[in-house]
Structure 1
Amino acid sequence: MRIANTPILAVDSYKASHKWQYPEGTELVSSYIEARANNSGLDLPGTVFFGLQPLLRQLAETPITADDIKRSAKVFAAHGVPFFEEGWRWILTQHQGRLPVEIRAVAEGTVVPFNNAVVQVVNTDPKAYWPTSYMETTLQRAVWYASTVATVSWAVKRILREFWAKTSDAPVESLDFKLHDFGARGASSAESAALGGMAHLVNFKGTDTVEALLAADEFYGEAMAGFSIPAAEHSTITSWGRDGEVAAYANMLRQFGGPGKLVAVVSDSYDVFHAVEKLWGEELRSQVLDMGGTLVIRPDSGDPVEVVAKVLALAAQAFGTETNSKGYRVLNPAVRVIQGDGVNPHSIRAILARLAADGFAIDNIAFGMGGALLQKVDRDTFSWAMKASAIRIGGTWRDVYKEPVTDRGKGSKRGRLALAFDESAGWRTVPLEDCAEADNRLRPVFVDGRLVATTTLAEVRARAEV
């Protein structure tokens, strides 16, 4: 749902008054975006930059119109803040409604250490210097949310890879399906589900967030970015009644089982341990083994570490295991487990550590993550900020920065900036004048209202590969 439909109104109210607050003779304003710090509690080398391209494409496709200006004038007049109608009409007549700014950004999917500029914005028309900071609201929303979700998802993949290296003989590509997006219903909006779900797909290929698939196709050229399987919910199981629990399970196998097929069945509606040991492990054991596919048992309540450990032990008893070359047990391929309740990066590590201690490989389990993936993040998770760092007045550039004595962590960078990288020094933000254009990783992606560079999800995934 796009309420504003114009960048003039996709803004914090106070921005409308800022045109009159700059020094006399202001011509150009240069600002940057960065993730200042890691406040997530996760072990991370930086953030996965992602999510700018959808916004820039929307801006390119919807130039400002006379009706936008007329509506904005009316809204701000009633709202009680000034509106620079003359300036926006200048943009309409002189630039055909296209924003006269240059936006540079690091390539999406790049993992950039904290406290480095990942986006640089500067106006290109000295008579329209206010749009640089005016765009902060919409730019920050595009960058902080998608990048934060992509980073949390990426952090989980690092955890999974650690236990894969320790316990598994499976191909590393199996990790692509170890974390499934369960977050659509817990997201704050359809747009959040699409953007956040798409950010998760930077790292994984399992999702139940259909809007993310549509967005990945539309904005990143990936015809089908993720996959899912038939799965039960409690209503479809409990509708059979407690006495019909085993019949409900048998129906799932009958409807969706078969050679090479996977079917997930929530099994904790009454007693998950009884369900695994007696119903799946005895009454339906032959059907599970004979169908030629894989039953994925889903516990959905209780302490995830203890419940998963016990469910796996019962499944191993019922269906048997093989020991891989690293000395860890892998269930009969007819059975696997997925945990989707209480899942976050910390519980995933705890579950995998317990399973490894019990002698089980990571092969046996996948995870579904909902609110902790798409909703339990905010701008402060990585202290995202957009700040002005340089201003040109009367033809001369000068530094702009803040340095509050009450919080040194909120100090900002100064000057026109570049993002450099080399193998010896790594990533670092440097003065623009000290960096050759070819070495600046902040490349133009949007100039004067037009996209000048695009990327695909396949390219983003390659850059973000753990």
Structure 2
Amino acid sequence: MAYQAAGTENLLLVTDSYKVTHHMQYPPNTTDVYSYFESRGGKFPSTVFFGLQYIIKRWLCGKVVSKEKIKEAKELYKLHFGKDLFNEEGWNYILEVHDGHLPLRIRSVPEGMVIPYKNVLFTVENTDPKCHWLTNYFETLLVQVWYPMTVATNSRYQKEIIAKYLDETADTLEKLPFMLHDFGFRGSTSVESAGIGGCAHLVNFMGTDTIAGIATARQYYGCPLAGFSIPAAEHSTITTWGKDGEVEAFRNMLTRFPEGLVACVSDSYNIWEACEKVWGGELKGLVESRKDKGTLVVRPDSGDPPTVVVKVLDILAKCFGKEKNKKGYYLLPSYIRVIQGDGISYETLGAILENMKKHGWSAENLAFGSGGALLQRLDRDTQKCAFKCSYAKCNGKEVNVFKAPITDPGKESKKGRLTLEKQADGKFVTVQQGAGDVKKDILETVFENGKLLKDFSFDEVRKNAELELVIQRKKE
């Protein structure tokens, strides 16, 4: 399955400085180096494995080594270290013998699969004995899979919370894919990180304002359109009308977008009056006229979310009425809903939904928007991601490589060649020291010698990541 890496960036420069010297540090006559990546623990007990395909396609496929890149790297590293430590001979060998294609093999779990932490997620090894030093040269780049993986994990655990309350208080889970909307583009560190993180969120949901995430899913996972949005107001488009013009600003939203969903931020001055005197008063007829044509989504954007959401729902119900669903929880009329986009995170969702439930409201009345907490409030240690060497061959002798720091048992690494197997009870186990059954190994070769061998579609990824509750409800 051919895939040519895009761009002209110099892959030889995409590593930590000290790795440039590591070709001089292995034992004499080392021919094989095999390393693995795992989540050693962390905030969430399982991880959604996602994003390796982006890295492979973006950086590793095709002819990625050239004379010009070797020359550039040699000159830069000589200045950087103050002496010539660069493995020019090794890179020239890759260029001449492998035509600039990387003699590496990467095996990974299927993207989107949910794996308990402390299990191998992918392995890397050299395929040419003269390139043993290459395996760990790319640790720096490959470990960056921690970011999309952790965003997808964070997003999925929020989906679990929403699904739980939706299942308890709504008649269906139909709205679930659109109940956590990505507001994180502006809070990301770059357009590229917004694309990676935004795409990772779309593994679990289909609502986003992070267009970069849609573009990433399209380019690297073959998905024509992974996410959707609606017309929505921001404070500037409301407050430029002036405080006395808020009613006209709201009227403008309803008349300019007369059909479908439209969201309007409503807390610029007084959220309670906006709900009761404007939406439920002066503009009530316009709101009600959306019946069978669309929905107004009222957005509070300040205050204590659990308190504000329930009070907004109560005021809107007073103005527009409410009815009970089959599970005995209240629903506003279909033409009006609420979105809470301030202070939303894994830690806060439950309190909001629990307070709604306590006051008799179905979770179906509300959608969420999340920004920094969704795409930025996490790091490599959120899931304690690590890449370690576990096997080598030196002087023809196989070595089970590991570390076991006496000061931190949690950092003890795995030994030997690894397989990831699913036991009869459904639990995953990483079998070490080459003792596993390769026929049961979930890891599959996704990259070898410069070629992408497995191209996961976004539909496959989403299917692998789907909640068991959703799967069960679809069967019922």
Is 1:140–2:139 an aligned residue pair? no
Residue 34 in structure 1 maps to residue 35 in structure 2: no
Q: Offset at 1:437? A: 2.5
Identify the residue that residue 100 of structure 1 maps to in structure 2: 103
Letter in 2 for 1:11: T
Deviation at 1:432, TM superposition (A): 6.0
The 3 A distance-change label for structure 1 pair 423 and 321 is: farther
The answer to whether the 8 Å contact 1:391/1:400 transfers is yes
Match of 2:12, SS state, is coil
Q: Which amino acid aligns with 2:389?
A: A
Contact 1:233 1:265 in 2 (8 A): yes
Q: Is the 8 A contact 2:170 2:362 kept in 1?
A: yes
Alignment of 1:28-427 (within 5 A): 28-38=32-42, 40=43, 44-58=44-58, 59-80=60-81, 82-141=85-144, 143-170=145-172, 172-258=173-259, 261-291=260-290, 292-424=293-425, 426-427=427-428
Alignment-derived partner of residue 23 in structure 2: 19
Q: Cα distance, 1:93 vs. partner?
A: 0.6
Structure 2 SS opposite 1:99: coil
SS at match of 1:91: helix
Report runs of 4+ in structure 1 exceeding 6 Å deviation: none
Deviations 1:385-443 (A, max 9, x none): 00000111122211111111111111111111111113325101003633333211111
Deviation sequence 1:5-64 (CA, Å, 0-9, x none): 1321111101001111110110000000000112x3xxx440000000011112104521
Quote the Cα distance in structure 2 between the aligned partners of 1:188 and 1:54.
18
What do residues 284-330 of structure 1 show as CA deviations (whole Å, max 9, x unaligned)?
Answer: 01100012310000011111111111111111111111101111001
Q: Residues of 1 paired with 2:362 and 2:8: CA distance?
A: 50
Q: Distance in 2 between matches of 1:221 and 1:37?
A: 32
Shift of 1:185: 0.4
CA offsets 1:55-102 (integer angstroms, 9 cap, x no match): 111210452111111110011011016211111110111111111110
State whether residues 4 and 10 of structure 1, in contact with CA within 8 Å, keep that contact through their aligned partners in structure 2. Answer: no
**Whole-angstrom CA distance in 1 between matches of 2:257 and 2:445:** 49
Return the alpha-carbon distance in structure 1 between the equivalents of residues 426 and 266 of structure 2: 52
Could you say which residue in structure 2 is the equivalent of 1:10?
Answer: 14
Letter in 2 for 1:24: P
**Contact 2:414-2:432 within 8 A present in 1 as well:** no
SS at match of 1:412: coil
Instruction: Report the alpha carbon displacement of residue 173 of structure 1 after superposing the two structures with TM.
Output: 3.0
User: 1:164, CA displacement in angstroms?
Assistant: 1.0
Partner of 2:458: 457
Q: How many residues align?
A: 457
**Aligned 8 A contact 1:400 1:415 in 2:** yes
Q: 1:336 to 1:129 in 2, by over 3 A?
A: same
Amino acid at match of 1:289: E
1:215-254 CA deviation, whole Å, 9 max, x = no partner? 1111111100000000000000001000000000000000
Deviations 1:141-189, CA, capped at 9 Å, x for gaps: 1x1000000000000010011101110013x231000000000000011
CA distance in structure 2 between the aligned counterparts of 1:370 and 1:301, rounded to whole angstroms? 15
2:3 match: none
Equivalent position of 2:472 in the other structure: none
- Shift of the 371–248 alpha-carbon distance from structure 1 to 2, 3 Å rule, reads same
2-structure distance, mates of 1:7, 1:104: 20
Residues 14 and 194 of structure 1: is their aligned pair in 2 closer, same or farther, counting only changes over 3 Å?
Answer: same
Change in 2 beyond 3 A, CA 1:94/1:62: closer
Secondary structure of 2:267's match? coil
Secondary structure, counterpart of 1:88 in structure 2: helix
Bigger mean CA offset, 2-11 vs 344-353? 2-11
Residue type matched to 1:370 in 2? G
Q: Distance in 1 between matches of 2:48 and 2:110?
A: 10
Partner of 1:173, secondary structure, is coil
Deviation track 1:339-384 (CA, whole Å, cap 9, x = no partner) reads 1111101111110000000100011000001000111110000000
- The DSSP-based 3-state class of the residue aligned with 1:226 is coil
2:35 and 2:355 map into 1 onto residues whose CA distance is 47
**Which residue pairs with 2:442 in the alignment?**
441
2:300 touches 2:308 (CA, 8 Å); kept in 1?
A: yes
Is the 1:106–1:118 contact (alpha carbons within 8 Å) kept by the matching residues of 2?
yes
Contact kept, 8 Å, 2:264 with 2:299, in 1: the verdict is yes
Contact 1:7 1:138 in 2 (8 A): no
Q: CA deviation at 1:3?
A: 10
